[in-house]
Amino acid sequence: MIAADDLIALVRNYNPKSNVERIADAYAFGREMHEGQYRHSGEPYFSHPVEVAAILTEQRLDDATIITALLHDTIEDTKASYGEVANRFGDEVAMLVDGVTKLTNLQLSSRETKQAENFRKLFMAMSKDLRVILVKLADRLHNMRTIRAMKTEKQIQKSRETMDIFAPLAGRMGMQWMREELEDLAFHVLNPEGRASIMRRFIVLQRESGDVIHRITGDMRHELEKARIEAEVFGRAKKPYSIWRKMQQKDQGFSRLSDIYGFRIICHSEEDCYRTLGAIHQRWRAVPGRFKDYISQPKTNGYRSIHTTVSGRDGKRVEVQIRTQAMHDVAETGVAAHWSYRDGVRVENPFAVDPAKWIANLTEQFDAEEDHDEFMEAVKLEMYSDQVFCFTPKGDVVKLPRGATPLDFAYAIHTRIGGACVGAKVDGIRVPLWTRLKNGQSVDVITAEGQTPQVTWLEIAVTGKARTAIRRALREVDRERFIKLGQELARSAFEHVGRKATDKALDTAAKHLRLNDRDTLLARLGSAELTAHDVVQAVYPDLAPDDGDKIPIGRAVIGLSPGQSFERAPCCQPLPGERIVGITQRGKGVIVHAIDCDELGHFEDQPDRWVDLHWHSGTHPAVYSATIDLTIGNDAGVLGRICTLFGEKKANIADLEFLDRKPDFYRLLITAELRDVEQLHSLVLMLEAEADVAAVERHRGKHHMRLAAQ
């Protein structure tokens, strides 16, 4: 464990004016509070907060953050109270410690709580003081470094949470080194064989080609000397997970993978950065499409650098990053650079982003979200995406995530322009709205009066801002129609459990589901954003069918190995009572197909993957989704009667999607939760007998569920 004097020395290296007494007092208080507590490894527990503080000294953070790191588990895990911490170390530290404690208690990967709601709380905590998340990231980094002492299932849970949440968050904040280390540590747990294979191939590559990094670094230094440019050159092999991810994305083997080596050139001035770029491109051939200028167009977290990929020795591609020292400092610490100290004063780095502005920019578009799941979708889209920079006809820059379309561009300019968009020109050429934009393109949005957002736009738009605005507009246009449809769905669902969908019951459901009022609930139900089952469960959770004497889902299929999991194939949606066969999938257990599924033809030459399966012959719960394709008359009350028929057959409607609307007919997909194929056949027969039903057939759809064998 790092001694108090050694930790203080680390702080004084970059901040000679730090309050040594406060840090020493925090060290003593934390050690006293954690006395008698031990980690899974057997070490004293206090060694963990000390290591977290040491990680934060590498980012040259202020005293309050270092003290918070030393105390970050005291309120949660010891007898210390918020008031005690506030009295001894001040309100600022107490607030930060309390913030870290609340983040720890969020359980971001918990299945019992809504992940979207926890993400909202995470961003709220960040908006109050970004240092809270800096401490939490350092806490997670040290826990991942020492994860081998934990039980296997806990290692896997923490690693998945790290890969899904904390690593991308570190990257979004500009702390790329931390993102890479968190990813690699998680990769070591989640796929040790994959990581080991990458390492083995690296060793073979070094044996065959020698020290490539040393040779290319020498070549680059030689070119810079010729151009009379003073700069430092560093080279490294990329992290195993970064290489693995590229192999998966490009579907290439290690031997065919390019740019597994990265080089960084630190220049004295911005002018030297561009001169260096010229020298590198003169000596080596630039790879088309792999150039990014983040100096002239910085990322929102302050990141500035020039990226280029060139063909080096023996045709091997290498990635080169060119930046100044000030740019590099921000690139290493990201948004945390705002708090960095050097020689006892806050560093005046011109590229450091104001955390308040950064978090405001990040959360601005989410504030208008009415639905937590939509918020989650928007968070992930923004967090995991890279950026492209496009231009308006006037030359203004619009930043968008990679994969964005002209429709996203239109909404990024203004919601009104997005809603009125009828087309777009990219670099002067008319293109479809679903076109993927590339760096540097000029986009001219074409609008028309009277245009309104279309349902199909949700499949085109990528950004959270655009999708949120489209959903809101569609809800407003269709609100009355969806409310009426929701009333019919609610009536049918409540009658299914022997109750009535009274105004009071619907008000109660709306309150439980955190919706503004009854009409909002019905509109969400009518637009299939809520299921009727969710609404009934919100009011009568005890009226769910008693499945105590029915076949548990995990034992519904016979023929699996103990502990083996299975999925119902989305292509054929097999139901109990149908003949089935299993196809083994690496990492996914067994995919269960109906015996007549067309997709099975793809596996005819792989007989070793086929598994003989059959459904349990007992009574199954009504949880297996099947989709019916219906064409019905467009008359008043028809859809309500159809929904009532589903209720009469004890089939809960889980989803409803309109495919086509004509003046005389509607075509729609209704997904119902059923017991078995007999219930499906009975339902189809009843629908065929209806005069207002023009056509009905089973639809092999996209819906599927994950099931675990017990």
pLDDT tens readout for residues 493-520: 888 778 888 998 899 888 888 888 898 8
pLDDT digits (tens, 9 = 90+) for 402-456: 788 999 999 989 989 999 999 999 988 988 888 998 877 889 999 988 888 887 8
Q: Kindly report the backbone phi and psi dihedral angles of residue 346, in degrees, each rounded to the nearest multiple of 5, phi listed first.
A: -65, 130
- Interior CA angle at 394 toward 390 and 398, to 5°? 25
Q: Which residues have a catalytic role annotated?
A: 76-77
Give the pLDDT confidence of 610-629 residue by residue, as tens digits: 888 888 877 788 889 999 99
User: What pLDDT does 442 receive?
Assistant: 87
Residues of the chain with CATH 3.10.20.30: 385-462
Tokens of 380: 């992930």
Q: In whole angstroms, what is the distance from residue 61 CA to residue 341 CA?
A: 6
Q: What is the pLDDT of residue 52?
A: 92
Pairing mode of beta strands 306-311, 317-324:
antiparallel
The span from the CA of 48 to the CA of 320, in Å, is 36
pLDDT at 264 over 90: yes
Q: Please tell me the predicted confidence (pLDDT) of residue 270.
A: 92
Predicted pLDDT at 344: 58
Coil/strand/helix, residue 130 = coil
What pLDDT is recorded for position 688? 85
Dihedral (Cα; 444, 449, 453, 455), 10-degree rounding = -110
Average pLDDT, the chain: 81
Q: According to the 3-state scheme, what is the secondary structure of 76-123?
A: HHCCCCHHHHHHHHCHHHHHHHHHHHHHHCCCCCCCCCCHHHHHHHHH
Superfamily of domain 545-710, CATH level 4: ACT domain (3.30.70.260)
Q: Does domain 385-462 have CATH number 3.10.20.30?
A: yes
What residues does CATH 1.10.3210.10 cover in the chain?
Answer: 4-189
**Best CA proximity match to 371, nearest among 524, 531, 525:** 524
The dihedral over CA atoms of 372, 378, 383, 384, expressed in degrees to the nearest 10, equals: 120
CA distance 590 to 602: 15
Residues 340, 333 contacting (CB under 8 angstroms) = yes
CATH of domain 193-336: 3.30.460.10
Q: What sign has the CA pseudo-torsion 590, 595, 598, 602?
A: positive
For residue 160, give both structure tokens: 């998945």
Residue 574 has pLDDT above 90, yes or no: yes
Q: Judge whether 85 and 26 are in contact, CB under 8 Å.
A: no
What confidence category does residue 464 fall into, taking pLDDT thresholds of 50, 70 and 90?
Answer: confident
- 638-694 residue pLDDT tens: 888 888 888 888 888 888 888 887 777 888 899 988 888 888 988 888 888 888 888
Predicted local distance difference test score (pLDDT) of residue 408: 92
Residue 484 identity: K
pLDDT bucket at 182, cuts 50 / 70 / 90: very high
Residues in the chain, overall count: 710
Residue 556 has what DSSP assignment?
S
CATH 3.30.460.10 in the chain: give the residue spans.
193-336
> Cα separation of 419 and 470, whole Å?
7
- Give me the numbers of helices (H) and strands (E) for the chain, helices first please: 28, 24
- Every domain of the chain with CATH number 3.30.70.260 lies at 545-710
Q: Tens of pLDDT along 274-286?
A: 999 999 999 888 8
- Which tokens hold the place of 552? 């548990």
How far apart CA 144 and CA 139 sit, in angstroms, is 9
Report residue 670 as tokens: 């209704």
Which H helix or E strand runs over 193? helix 192-209
pLDDT band at 705 (very low <50, low <70, confident <90, very high): very low
- What does each C-alpha distance from 21 to 8, 26, 67, 169, 342 come to in angstroms? 9, 9, 11, 33, 19
What is the pLDDT at residue 709? Answer: 35
Max intra-chain CA distance, the chain:
87
- For 4-189, CATH gives 1.10.3210.10
pLDDT surpassing 70 at residue 356: no
Q: Are 324 and 266 in contact (CB under 8 A)?
A: yes
Contact of 620 with 652, CB cutoff 8 Å: no
